Amino acid sequence: MEQRIIKYAEAIKEATKQILESDKSAFLMGLGVPQGAAGTAVGLKDLFPTQVLDTPTSEAALTGMAVGAAISGLHPMVYHERVEFSLLAGDAIFTQAAKWNYMFGGDNPVPVVLRIAVGRQWGNGPQHSQALYSLFGAVRGLKVVIPSTPHMMKGLLISAVKDKNPVVILEPRWLYQVKGHVPEEMYTEPLDKARVVKEGKDVTVVAYGDAFVDTLAALKLIPQDISVELIDLVSINPIDYQTIAKSVEKTGRLLCVDSTNSAFSIGSEIIAKVAENPVGLTQAPVSVAAPDVPVPTSPALSEFWYPTKVDIANGILKMFGKPLLDIKLPFEELHLAPTTTLE
């Protein structure tokens, strides 16, 4: 049977439509949501006029209202088109939603879903291209996931709405046009479990979000005599250390890929945890990440900031003492969001 292929943004829209159809206590809200939310909600206002809500430009107010609605038993989904804007709702997210159930004895759920667009976009520069993964990953009381494929995006969004905890979905906008297989029916994916995408015996590579897609491309550039075990991290709060440790114990090597700064990154957190109990580790772990400066706006500079598939491949090759690749990528691949179909 031929697999159905749709875009990442279309997977979000389809999951949202099915959620709103099946759960009348669910609703979607956010600034400009009825206008399409970067292609993830096009036409939903017409189908669900009382469940798709536009809001004034006040991230603190709209998120606070959603948290209150969740405490009262509804299932709100909030869309923030930039992670920088979501910080204006920091009190509602980090102090109220994340801590409410803990403060009141564990029987007071806050089932709010926060969809937040993060990361690279052509020419957006230092103020509109941040990811801030570590900030959300450090907040106890939140579940935080980063879908790397259209299939994972749909399943994680449905799981998030069904969960009793506040769930933050950090959506790499770089992936909105990426295509992949997505079942038409509703399904769920675990919110706290990494997935081993490719089994191997020589090196464990951990990636997530847009860095995962780049890593898939990087594996096509390395010789087949290097057997890579590729892990899609999926969740950064909590991190599935058990799956990572089991893999590292088998391969003896670890390489982590981040599409943001290396300092205080998810990769550095994983490397630190593995170093605390380095069972089976035969070589120092490696980090492939962006430099510790803000991302530039100019394409002439930003092409040297984000790790590419060549950088990731060379990180692996260097671990094995292999010759490094000297490949110049075209402008489109460096600066324009991918439209590829994931295998």
Q: Is the bond preceding 238 in cis, omega lying within 30 degrees of 0?
A: yes
Q: Nearest-CA neighbor of 147 among 117, 118, 111, 171?
A: 171
In a domain, 342, yes or no: no
In a domain, 231, yes or no: yes
Q: Do 63 and 85 belong together in one domain?
A: yes
pLDDT at 130: 94
Length of the chain measured in residues: 343
* Mean pLDDT of the region 81-89: 95
In a domain, 306, yes or no: yes
Q: Nearest-CA neighbor of 312 among 281, 343, 290?
A: 290
Looking from the CA of 115 toward its CB, the CA atoms found within 13 Å total 30
Q: What is the H or E stretch that residue 114 is in?
A: strand 113-118
* Mean pLDDT of the region 321-329: 96
Q: Do 15 and 40 belong together in one domain?
A: yes
Q: pLDDT for 142-170, tens place per residue?
A: 999 999 999 999 999 999 999 999 999 99
In a domain, 292, yes or no: yes
Q: Do 167 and 199 belong together in one domain?
A: no
pTM of the complete model: 0.96
Q: Do 158 and 262 belong together in one domain?
A: no
pLDDT at 146: 98
In a domain, 186, yes or no: no
Mean residue pLDDT of the chain comes to: 96
In a domain, 190, yes or no: no
Q: For residue 21, give both structure tokens.
A: 């159809």
**CATH number, domain at 318?**
3.40.50.920
pLDDT at 1: 60
Of 181, 209, 225, which closes a domain?
181
Of 181, 208, 232, which closes a domain?
181
Q: Domains in the chain: how many in total?
A: 2
**CATH number, domain at 157?**
3.40.50.970
Q: pLDDT for 295-309, tens place per residue?
A: 999 988 988 999 999
Q: Domain limits at 250?
A: 195-335
Q: Do 173 and 208 belong together in one domain?
A: no
Q: Do 154 and 200 belong together in one domain?
A: no
In a domain, 340, yes or no: no
The values of phi and psi at residue 128, to 5°, are -130, 20
Q: Which residues are catalytic?
A: 59, 128
pLDDT at 124: 87
Q: Do 165 and 248 belong together in one domain?
A: no
Does residue 144 contact residue 266 with C-beta atoms inside 8 Å? no
In a domain, 155, yes or no: yes
pLDDT-based confidence at 123, cuts 50/70/90? confident
Looking from the CA of 96 toward its CB, the CA atoms found within 13 Å total 18
Cα–Cα dist 59/55, whole Å: 9
Q: Do 52 and 170 belong together in one domain?
A: yes
pLDDT over 90 (residue 82): yes
Q: Nearest-CA neighbor of 17 among 186, 163, 166?
A: 186
